[in-house]
Amino acid sequence: MSRIAMNPYLLRLLLTSALLWLAAPAAIAADTATAAAEPPLRSVAEIVGGRCALCHGANGESASAIYPRLAAQHPEYLAKQLRDFRDGRRKSDTMSDMARDLRDEEITALAAFFSSKPAAARQRGDQELAAVGRYLFTKGNRWSGVPACTSCHGADGHGTAELPRLAGQHPAYIETQLKDFNERQRNNDNAIMHSIAAKLTEMEVNALSIYIGSLQ
């Protein structure tokens, strides 16, 4: 009996196809099981009510000066901060715990929710310090090498998608963040803030914080 010679390449191709065909049902079953194991996405109302509202308020208007106001903040910036907290790039015992199980879709939805809320009106504190803060914010301090805040955050302090909105933020929170930048405790954002914060005096930090808090 004669034998039909088969091209070795064709033989390998047929064997590979057969193995893939046999493995396909198992792969599909594994993907299905993985999808079924993932919990459903939580609603914004559920996450805000169960986590965010306690510190930041139901609409992002935190009553305590130690927590930042989130209302009207850029959604891209908020989403980045939440991902950084979740993934360990920004350190905070509280926020790392709150964000640890947030999925990307939930983070995007939360950021869109808080950014859509209007910022409430603010009142200016010490008028004389606010005037110093305004000078620093708009002109900087050429003697110490501090640039004007407007060069990055805009004339109105509304920032960009990459840089935060500062207008109307709690002065005490601004002070804390500038201190953290100066002491290299906050490293997930623009490194230029390290050198800027290091050049500010305590009085300048206080003056800037008061002025920024009064912006709308």
74 is in an annotated binding site: no
DSSP letter assigned to residue 64: S
98 is in an annotated binding site: no
Q: How many CA atoms are closer than 13 Å to the CA of 63, on its beta-carbon side?
A: 4
Which burial class, exposed, middle or buried, applies to 148 when counting CB atoms under 10 A from its CB (0-12, 13-18, 19+)?
middle
Q: Which amino acid is at 54?
A: L
158 is in an annotated binding site: no
| Whole-number Å distance between alpha carbons of 58 and 71 | 10
152 is in an annotated binding site: yes
| Whole-number Å distance between alpha carbons of 111 and 53 | 14
203 is in an annotated binding site: no
170 is in an annotated binding site: no
194 is in an annotated binding site: no
Which residues define the annotated binding site? 52, 55-56, 95, 149, 152-153, 193
Which residues define the annotated binding site for heme c? 52, 55-56, 95, 149, 152-153, 193
